[in-house]
């Protein structure tokens, strides 16, 4: 069985959930390996639209085991409302399991995230305000709470005695926010323990070992995207986890040898929500046209997404650091009415004319860079019903094949609409 990782190859919202959902059909185990409810993942199936934030999209198939992995952060209230929503839609959630090593987002995390965003005069990140950064900060500082702590009075008691004095001092003195009493946190934790109880899998090692021994197919589901990766993204305008393929090896409970393929999902253009550099951004009518046709508004926050032409410079970088073995190219149908389509093949420094073929990691110089484009002819045809590669118009095939050449990576899947059926598989997956 082939074990695959689905990775966002740009700044998120590439259509990962659609691809995960398609691949989940043939997987036995789906593991979301990082991030939290900052993600907004849309799946259109059986004439219904599902929006996931934390729960793996594989849950739509009955009988799959779906793990929320150790590398994730969980906001209890968001988890509760997501699960209730799915149950109300008639989705069978009995396969859902939470790794007890996942981290918990506490109210002070969301408060600090909101405070930092609302009060930033400089360096605003434009986060989703879901407490992601502060939760990962505490995890790395070794003062975070894990799901398993909720069921261990001893762990909770000992940890809170260390965490709370520190936390309260910071809340009061740095942020001017209200401190928390131990009683208050303990009673919250009691509530959280109830929310998670039906899903926490203390026996996760056996489940993962059995799946490995029985050669089951594992699908690793990423959130966000390579350019939002904490190590390799446009730091500091990034999220606080590792969406790259390597993140699957740390966040899932399986090591790197369990991974056979890493599918990078990329749109035929680029979008970004929040602040940060974006060399191919279009602040004109073309950008508006892409946003309108592509319905580019955030699933989690409703914010309009910034839009721009496909950027082969960042994408080639994403292939490298994301460990991509092939690409799923989505939303190519958005260009159906376009006369011309541009692709950025290099950056030019407006200060000295220097050409960058490789992605420059110092994002503070990106404001001086302008894209060098090549222009492709549009196909001016509705391609949303095409499911066979050879039936695509010649200009669409030329465009796709040029991208493969630029990225030195095969495009294994082409998506021509949001529905499961609107997909072209170029190899038998
Ligand atoms: P994710 O976060 O990467 O899972 O992506 P989002 O769900 O945030 O955003 C992708 C949006 O594009 C969703 O509304 C999808 O239903 C939609 N979508 C996915 N693939 C395609 C496609 O090939 N064409 C079109 N037109 N829409 C698509
Ligand atoms: P999916 O999985 C797009 C962005 C935020 C902000 C930055 C940091 O749907 O692709 P955070 O709340 O994580 O601290 O915000 O990252 N961001 C996303 N952008 N898609 C996402 O998820 C995102 N998750 C976070 O807008 O710029
Ligand atoms: Mg999204």
**Does 95 share its domain with 211?**
yes
| CA separation for the pair 175, 128 (Å, rounded) | 19
**Does 246 share its domain with 316?**
no
| Ligand 1 atom 13: residue of nearest CA | 42
| CA separation for the pair 426, 307 (Å, rounded) | 27
Which of 166, 196, 226 is the endpoint of a domain? 196
Of the pLDDT bands very low, low, confident and very high (cuts 50, 70, 90), residue 401 is: very high
The number of angstroms, rounded, from the C-alpha of 329 to the middle of its chain's C-alpha atoms is 16
Of the pLDDT bands very low, low, confident and very high (cuts 50, 70, 90), residue 202 is: very high
Which of 196, 212, 232 is the endpoint of a domain? 196
Q: Is 224 in the pocket of ligand 2 (CB under 6 A)?
A: yes
| CA separation for the pair 2, 258 (Å, rounded) | 9
**Best mutation site among 32, 272, 418, 422 for ligand 1 pocket (most ligand atoms within 8 Å of CB):** 418
Q: Specify the DSSP class assigned to residue 301.
A: T
What's the mean pLDDT in 368-379?
Answer: 98
Q: Which tens digits make up the pLDDT trace of 265-281?
A: 999 999 999 999 999 99
Pocket of ligand 1 (CB under 6 A): 8, 12-18, 40-42, 44, 299, 330-331, 333-334, 415-418
**Does 80 share its domain with 206?**
yes
The domain total for the chain is 3
What are φ and ψ of residue 137, in 5° steps? -60, -45
Nearest-ligand number for the alpha carbon of 135: 2
Indicate the average pLDDT of the chain.
Answer: 97
63 CA from centroid of ligand 1 (Å): 25
State the pLDDT at residue 43. Answer: 95
Reduced to 3 states (helix: H, G, I; strand: E, B; else coil), residue 35 is strand
**What proportion of the chain, given as a percentage, has pLDDT over 90?**
95
State the pLDDT at residue 123. Answer: 83
Range list of β-strands (E), 222-368: 261-267, 269-272, 306-311, 326-330, 340-349, 355-356
Q: Is 223 in the pocket of ligand 2 (CB under 6 A)?
A: yes
Complete DSSP assignment for 45-110: ETTEEEEESSS-GGGGSTT-EEEE-TTBEE-HHHHHHHHHHHHHTT---TTEEE-TTSEE--HHHH
Reduced to 3 states (helix: H, G, I; strand: E, B; else coil), residue 186 is helix
**Does 272 share its domain with 225?**
no
pLDDT above 90: residue 37: yes
254 CA from centroid of ligand 3 (Å): 25
Q: Which tens digits make up the pLDDT trace of 132-181?
A: 999 999 999 999 999 999 999 999 999 999 999 999 999 999 999 999 99
Specify the CATH number for the domain of residue 62. Answer: 3.40.440.10
**Does 23 share its domain with 144?**
no
Alpha-carbon torsion angle 16, 21, 333, 291, nearest 10 = -50
| CA separation for the pair 253, 33 (Å, rounded) | 9
| CA separation for the pair 166, 61 (Å, rounded) | 44
pLDDT above 80: residue 428: no
Strand ranges of the sheet holding 4-8, from the earlier edge strand across to the other edge: 96-98, 65-68, 29-32, 218-221, 4-8, 261-267, 326-330, 411-415, 423-425
Q: Is the dihedral of CA 320, 321, 326, 327 positive or negative?
A: negative
213 CA from centroid of ligand 1 (Å): 35
**Best mutation site among 127, 135, 238 for ligand 2 pocket (most ligand atoms within 8 Å of CB):** 127
Tokens describing residue 357:
């073929």
Cβ neighbours for 290, distance < 8 A, ≥ 6 positions apart = 269, 282, 296, 307, 308, 334
- 69 close to 33: Cβ distance less than 8 angstroms: yes
Specify the CATH number for the domain of residue 421. Answer: 3.90.170.10
- Decide the pairing of beta strands 261-267 and 326-330: parallel
**Does 284 share its domain with 387?**
yes
pLDDT above 90: residue 312: yes
Which of 173, 196, 219 is the endpoint of a domain? 196
Tokens describing residue 112:
């600090």
State the pLDDT at residue 237. Answer: 97
3 CA from centroid of ligand 2 (Å): 26
**Does 97 share its domain with 107?**
no
Of the pLDDT bands very low, low, confident and very high (cuts 50, 70, 90), residue 298 is: confident
State the pLDDT at residue 311. Answer: 98
State the pLDDT at residue 128. Answer: 95
| Orientation of helix 107-119 relative to helix 132-140, angle to 10° | 120
**Does 48 share its domain with 74?**
yes
What's the mean pLDDT in 247-269?
Answer: 98
Q: Is the dihedral of CA 384, 387, 391, 394 positive or negative?
A: positive
| Ligand 1 atom 26: residue of nearest CA | 417
What are φ and ψ of residue 366, in 5° steps? -60, -25
153 CA from centroid of ligand 2 (Å): 34
**Does 158 share its domain with 27?**
no
What's the mean pLDDT in 400-411?
Answer: 98
| Ligand 2 atom 27: residue of nearest CA | 274
Q: Is the dihedral of CA 129, 135, 136, 138 positive or negative?
A: positive
Closest by CA position to 379, among listed 392, 366, 365: 392
Specify the CATH number for the domain of residue 181. Answer: 1.10.300.10
pLDDT above 80: residue 429: no
- Compute CA distances 72 → 15, 16, 119, 373, whole Å: 20, 17, 27, 38
What's the mean pLDDT in 120-133?
Answer: 92
Of the pLDDT bands very low, low, confident and very high (cuts 50, 70, 90), residue 122 is: confident
Q: Which domain holds residue 15?
A: 4-101+199-263
pLDDT above 90: residue 380: yes
pLDDT above 80: residue 299: no
Q: How many CB atoms lie within 10 A of CB 394?
A: 9
- 127 close to 274: Cβ distance less than 8 angstroms: yes
Catalytically active residues, by annotation: 13, 41
Which pTM value belongs to this model?
0.97
- Ligand 1 atom closest to Cα of residue 295: 14
Cis geometry, peptide bond prior to residue 111 (ω within 30 degrees of 0): no
Q: Is 9 in the pocket of ligand 2 (CB under 6 A)?
A: no
State the pLDDT at residue 79. Answer: 98
State the pLDDT at residue 120. Answer: 87
**Does 115 share its domain with 216?**
no
**Does 213 share its domain with 124?**
no
| CA separation for the pair 130, 138 (Å, rounded) | 14
- Ligand 2 atom closest to Cα of residue 132: 14
State the pLDDT at residue 302. Answer: 85
- Decide the pairing of beta strands 218-221 and 4-8: parallel
**Does 294 share its domain with 229?**
no
């Amino acid at each position: 069985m082939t074990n695959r990782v689905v990775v966002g190859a740009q700044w998120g919202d590439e259509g990962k959930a659609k691809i995960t959902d398609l691949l989940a059909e043939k997987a036995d185990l789906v593991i979301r390996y990082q991030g939290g409810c900052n993600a907004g993942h849309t799946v259109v199936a059986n004439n219904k639209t599902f929006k996931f934030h934390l729960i793996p999209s594989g849950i739509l198939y009955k009988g799959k085991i779906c793990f929320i992995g150790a590398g994730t952060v969980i906001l209890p209230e968001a988890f509760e409302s997501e699960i209730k929503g799915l149950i109300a839609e008639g989705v069978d959630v009995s396969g859902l399991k939470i790794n007890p090593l996942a981290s918990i987002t506490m109210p002070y995390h969301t408060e600090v995230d909101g405070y930092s965003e609302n009060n930033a005069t400089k360096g605003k990140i434009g986060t989703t305000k879901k407490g992601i950064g502060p939760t990962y900060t505490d995890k790395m500082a070794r003062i975070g709470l894990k799901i398993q702590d909720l069921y261990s009075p001893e762990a909770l008691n000992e940890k809170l005695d260390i965490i709370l004095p520190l936390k309260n001092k910071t809340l009061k003195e740095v942020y001017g926010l209200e401190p928390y009493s131990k009683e208050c946190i303990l009673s919250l934790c009691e509530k959280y323990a109830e929310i998670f109880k039906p899903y926490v899998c203390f026996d996760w090692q056996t489940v993962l070992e059995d799946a490995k021994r029985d050669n089951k197919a594992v699908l690793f589901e990423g959130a966000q995207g390579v350019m939002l990766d904490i190590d390799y993204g446009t730091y500091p305008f990034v999220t606080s986890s590792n969406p790259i393929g390597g993140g699957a090896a740390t966040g899932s409970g399986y090591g790197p040898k369990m991974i056979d393929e890493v599918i990078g999902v990329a749109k035929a253009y680029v979008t970004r929500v929040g602040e940060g550099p974006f060399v191919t951004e279009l602040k004109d009518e073309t950008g508006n046209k892409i946003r309108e046709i592509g319905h580019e508004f955030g699933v989690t926050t409703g914010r309009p997404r910034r839009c721009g032409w496909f950027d082969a410079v960042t994408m080639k970088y994403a292939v490298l650091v994301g460990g991509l073995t092939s690409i799923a190219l989505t939303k190519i149908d958005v260009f159906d009415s376009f006369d011309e389509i541009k692709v950025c093949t290099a950056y030019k420094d407006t200060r000295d004319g220097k050409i960058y073929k490789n992605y420059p990691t110092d994002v503070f110089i990106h404001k001086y860079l302008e894209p060098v484009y090549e222009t492709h002819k549009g196909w001016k045809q509705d391609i949303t019903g095409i499911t066979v590669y050879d039936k695509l118009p010649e200009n669409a095939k030329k465009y796709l094949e040029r991208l493969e050449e630029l990225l030195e990576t095969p495009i294994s899947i082409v998506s021509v609409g949001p529905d499961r059926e609107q997909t072209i598989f170029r190899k038998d997956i």
